[in-house]
Amino acid sequence: MIDEKCYKTYLTSLLDGKRSKCRDIVQKLLDEKIDLKRLYTDLFQRSMYRVGKLWENNRITVAKEHLATSITESLLSLAYPSIFAGERIGKKVVISCAANEFHQIGGKLVADIFELNGWDGYFLGANSPVEDTARFIHETQPDVVGFSLSILSNLDHLKQAIEAVRSDFPNMDLLIGGQAFRWGGIDTIKQYAGTEYIQSLDDLEKMISGM
């Protein structure tokens, strides 16, 4: 549980670029054995959505947004000891961002939740070219593939990626997520059989536990 005081202190420190203060807050929460989904959703995601609003309304500069993003990305590694502590279950997931999609934190969090549940998570990062992603999937032979999309105008790139996977792996379980779908696109995704849209890390973990 992250109380408002903790969240506000963290957000102020993030916006001020105080990396060590942010680090201390996150480490304390980890030491208190916080559920990682709460840390990721109620601290990292919530604060980055706030950063987006402030940027959209010209209340912070692009420089501050970039700094907050970079601090957040660096703090994710603090959770690694917990993520890799559990027993491996021999399942693999590949998570990728569509081509031209530069938002990568969401996909990274998703790969971490799979790791937390004993899977080997392969996170390919931002702006992954379709051909290279398909080739990696061939090499890795995962059980599940996930794509992240934040910008709806990248939907065609996502469709190309889905179709590339589908043509070689007709029965592959495909997961799709990301903020793009706040603005539409879910009907397009539903046209692909075996492709599921997942909105939150809570829903993701429920789904993983049933796999």
Of the two residues 53 and 59, which places its CB atom closer to ligand B12 in the complex? 53
Binding to ligand B12 by residue 204, rule CB under 6 A?
A: yes
Angle, CA 112 vertex, CA 210 and CA 20 arms, to 5°: 145
Residues 102-111 as b or e (16 or more Cβ within 10 Å = b): ebbbbbbbbb
Residues 104-143 that bind ligand B12 (CB under 6 A): 104-107, 109-110
**SS percent in the chain: helix, strand, coil, step 5:** 60, 10, 30
Note whether 53 binds ligand B12 by CB under 6 A: yes
CA distance from start to end of the chain = 27
52 binds ligand B12 (CB under 6 A): yes
Residues in the chain: 211
Residue type, 133: T
Candidate list 9, 69, 82, 160; residue touching ligand B12; CB under 6 A: 69
Is residue 175 a contact residue for ligand B12 (CB under 6 A)? yes
Binding site for ligand B12 (CB under 6 A): 41, 44-45, 48-49, 51-53, 55-56, 65, 69, 95, 100-107, 109-110, 146-148, 150-152, 175-179, 183, 198, 200-201, 204
